[in-house]
């Protein structure tokens, strides 16, 4: 999890993201979550040929959707599905970031805990198999 302050410069955050191989940075105001800056935001800036030498607070997504440390995986999946998010910040009761939940992490969790269900899903859920598999 990469955390930066809201007055950090975008180009410096992008370099940190590159060095740490992160697809996003959580933006804080002190120790509280204020926003999120993702690789999608970088692409938008590049497409507009905008300067990267601006404070991140001018281009971040402010007050992003979050999950709490005691929220269920079901809630996280629902929020991600409804909002089209690939990442959700995880915050404590005081809205301090404690982690980042990613789609890939949820998929690994599901495969680990429900392998028979995941491995036996048809390519398109709800579609019956056309050909019988196996012997």
Q: Kindly give the confidence (pLDDT) of every residue in the chain, 135 residues in length, as a single tens digit, with 9 standing for 90 and above.
A: 999 999 999 999 999 999 999 999 999 999 999 999 999 999 999 999 999 999 999 999 999 999 999 999 899 999 999 999 999 999 999 999 999 999 999 989 888 988 887 777 767 766 666 666 665
pLDDT of residue 43: 96
pLDDT of residue 128: 66
Angle formed by the axes of helices 73-83 and 103-113, nearest 10°:
140
pLDDT of residue 81: 93
3-119 carries CATH number 3.40.50.880: no
Q: pTM of the prediction?
A: 0.81
Do 85 and 66 form a contact (C-beta atoms < 8 A)? no
* Residue-range domain boundaries for the chain: 3-119
Nearest-angstrom CA–CA distance, 59 and 46: 12
Do 87 and 106 form a contact (C-beta atoms < 8 A)? no
What are phi and psi for residue 108, nearest 5 degrees?
Answer: -60, -40
pLDDT of residue 126: 67
pLDDT of residue 63: 96
pLDDT of residue 132: 65
pLDDT of residue 129: 62
pLDDT of residue 4: 97
């Amino acid at each position: 999890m990469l955390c930066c302050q809201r007055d950090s410069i975008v180009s410096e955050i992008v370099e940190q993201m590159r060095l740490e191989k992160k697809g996003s940075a959580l933006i804080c105001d002190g120790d509280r979550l204020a926003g999120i800056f993702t690789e999608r935001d970088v692409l938008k800036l590049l497409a507009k040929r905008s300067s990267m030498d601006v404070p991140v607070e001018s281009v971040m997504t402010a007050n992003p959707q979050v999950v709490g440390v005691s929220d269920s995986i079901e809630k996280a999946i629902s929020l991600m599905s409804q909002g089209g998010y690939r990442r959700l910040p995880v915050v404590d009761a005081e809205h301090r970031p404690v982690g980042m939940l990613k789609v890939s992490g949820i998929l690994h969790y599901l495969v680990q805990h429900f392998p028979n269900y995941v491995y036996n899903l048809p390519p398109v859920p709800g579609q019956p198999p056309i050909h019988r598999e196996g012997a």
